[in-house]
């Protein structure tokens, strides 16, 4: 008897259709799997055998051959345990073969027949929807993410329950379109907790409103990390599309908690010892790196000069294009990576260059070598550079409540609405639309020409100044860019940021 069921193989953050074919007939007892399986798939023979027997079902001593088609795609992980079991039981006549063809199956089996969670279930659910199937049968722990696809989800706890369901017995609950992705965010940190730092807060607001990359420079303890961690609290909530994208990424990376979705903007802060593959993505079978895990959110790189030069240079493509491509001999994987880069660094190795109360003991050559760890092309891709001074004692002792994250978020939201009506956020304005969206009067042009001549701005730097000025105008609800907006945008350039 031959039976087949549909499953999915994870390919980056997408899912590819896999047909699991089972052939069961007489002969010397054997169990073989073909179709380019890796070791974890080959080991599923023992898990499947034990799961079927311990579920009280018959596993006859016959010749069993499993084929995972297409044969030219490598199959990995325990995601095929459940579809393999269902295919075998359908070939034995225990499960109706026609019923099994209507669903897509994913799940790993325990020796007791329990169905364990797997990665990439939301991608598999969207694949089932595109294939026109009736639903997806998946582990109960993955039901919430699968429900985001809009296709009926049949979550199961064990193999026995799966068999009863497919035989027509009362099925588990069917989940479909029951996920509220617009629930408000709750944060235990707030912008008003930061004493002073009005200029860095202003720069942070501009960065949030226009989606601009930002670099904070200042001595240790000035509050750079505190500022960066509060950026997500003033950013708009994720929309439906962004929730799906983020959940899909975290599911593929195996970072989703049981029955959860990503409904907050990601904030990733990797240590500077991270490898190139950990930051950009990679591995024998490439998996998402930190630049992808921070998609639609914030990637915070503290102590920026301490990161490896190769890692920082590898970020040029995702910072500019919003995607990162990882190539291997067998295939090329493209991961989304549209994030806001927020960096923090000291002005010198000892950290006290420019400190009003402490003396810097670094030599000019040491300072130059330290700053040269970050290349000019990468700095040029960062729109906003801001100096963060240490807070004076008077401000600490007489701390007055500042603007809260909620109030700042409302200003950011209004600026975002203006950008939505134009079809793009300011940091991503295409060059062809720059003149139409960012109209400059004569005073603005004179100011920019003077800045280009004095500070040798590159064309990329020139365009980024205009985009930041557009964001400042949006925050003031100004339809036109004025020279005051350009002047403020110019002070966030690296040429004017570090003292001396």
pLDDT in tens, 115-153: 999 999 999 999 999 999 999 999 999 998 998 888 899
Helix 442-455 with 483-490: angle, nearest 10 deg: 20
Q: How far apart are CA 20 and CA 35, in angstroms?
A: 9
Q: List the structure tokens of 299.
A: 């990637």
Number of neighbours of residue 153 by Cβ within 10 angstroms: 27
Q: How far apart are CA 484 and CA 253, in angstroms?
A: 45
Mean pLDDT of the chain: 88
Look at the block and give the residue holding tokens 């003292």.
Answer: 499
Angle (CA) 186-190-191 rounded to 5° is: 145
Domain 2-166 sits in CATH at 3.30.230.10
The segments of the chain whose pLDDT lies below 70 read 169-187, 329, 393-401, 495-500
CATH 3.30.230.10 maps onto the chain at 2-166
Q: How far apart are CA 216 and CA 498, in angstroms?
A: 10
Q: How much is the pLDDT for 494?
A: 78
Q: How much is the pLDDT for 416?
A: 93
Instruction: Report which of 31, 20, 97, 98 is spatially closest to residue 59, judged by C-alpha positions.
Output: 31
Residue 30 has phi, psi (to 5 degrees) of -160, 165
pTM over 0.85? The answer is yes
CATH 3.40.50.300 maps onto the chain at 191-496
Q: How much is the pLDDT for 498?
A: 59
Reported as type and span, the H/E element at residue 154 is strand 153-156
Helix 44-54 with 81-91: angle, nearest 10 deg: 60
Q: 3.90.180.10, 3.40.50.300, 3.30.420.40, 3.30.750.24: which CATH number matches 191-496?
A: 3.40.50.300
pLDDT in tens, 390-403: 877 666 556 666 77
The DSSP annotation for 311-335 comes to: HHHHTHHHHHHSEEEEE-SS-EEEE
């Amino acid at each position: 008897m031959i039976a087949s069921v549909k499953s999915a193989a994870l390919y980056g953050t997408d899912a590819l259709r896999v047909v699991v074919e089972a052939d069961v007939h007489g002969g010397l007892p054997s169990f073989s799997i073909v179709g380019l399986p890796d070791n974890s798939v080959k080991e599923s023979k023992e898990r499947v055998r034990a799961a079927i027997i311990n579920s009280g079902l018959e596993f006859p001593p016959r010749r069993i051959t499993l084929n995972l088609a297409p044969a030219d795609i490598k199959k990995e992980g325990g995601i095929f345990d459940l579809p393999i079991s269902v295919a075998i039981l359908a070939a034995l006549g225990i499960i109706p073969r026609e019923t099994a063809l209507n669903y897509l199956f994913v799940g790993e089996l325990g020796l007791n027949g329990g169905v364990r969670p797997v990665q990439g279930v939301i991608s598999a659910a969207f694949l089932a929807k595109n294939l026109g199937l009736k639903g997806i049968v998946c582990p109960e722990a993955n039901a919430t993410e699968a429900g985001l696809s809009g296709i009926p989800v049949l979550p199961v706890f064990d193999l026995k329950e799966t068999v009863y369901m497919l035989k027509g017995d009362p099925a588990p609950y069917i989940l479909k379109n029951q996920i509220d992705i617009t629930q408000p965010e709750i944060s235990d940190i707030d912008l008003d907790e930061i004493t002073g730092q009005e200029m860095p807060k202003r720069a942070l607001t501009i960065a949030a409103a226009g989606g601009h990359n930002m670099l904070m420079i200042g001595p240790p303890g000035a509050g750079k990390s505190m500022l960066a961690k509060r950026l997500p609290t003033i950013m708009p909530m994720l929309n439906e599309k962004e929730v799906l994208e983020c959940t899909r990424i975290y599911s593929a990376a195996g970072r989703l908690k049981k029955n959860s979705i990503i409904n907050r903007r990601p904030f990733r802060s990797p240590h500077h010892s991270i490898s190139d593959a950990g930051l950009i993505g990679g591995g024998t079978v490439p998996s998402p790196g930190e630049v992808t895990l921070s998609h639609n959110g914030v990637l915070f790189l503290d102590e920026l000069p301490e990161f490896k030069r190769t890692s920082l240079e590898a970020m040029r493509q995702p910072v500019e294009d919003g995607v990162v491509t990882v190539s291997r001999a067998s295939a090329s994987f493209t991961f989304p990576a549209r994030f806001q880069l927020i960096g923090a660094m000291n002005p010198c190795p000892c950290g006290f260059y420019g400190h009003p109360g402490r003396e810097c003991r670094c030599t000019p050559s040491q300072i130059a070598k330290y700053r040269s760890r970050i290349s000019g092309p990468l700095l040029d891709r960062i729109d906003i550079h801001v100096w963060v001074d240490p807070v004076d004692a008077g401000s600490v002792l007489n701390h007055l409540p500042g603007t809260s994250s909620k109030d700042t978020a409302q200003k950011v939201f209004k600026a975002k609405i203006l950008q939505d009506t134009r079809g793009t956020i300011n940091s991503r304005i295409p060059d062809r639309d720059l003149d139409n969206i960012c109209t400059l009067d004569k005073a603005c042009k004179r100011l920019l020409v003077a800045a280009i001549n004095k500070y040798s701005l590159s064309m990329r730097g020139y365009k980024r100044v205009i985009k930041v000025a557009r964001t400042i105008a949006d925050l003031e609800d100004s339809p036109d860019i004025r020279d005051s907006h350009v002047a403020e945008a110019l002070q966030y350039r690296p040429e004017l940021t570090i003292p001396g």
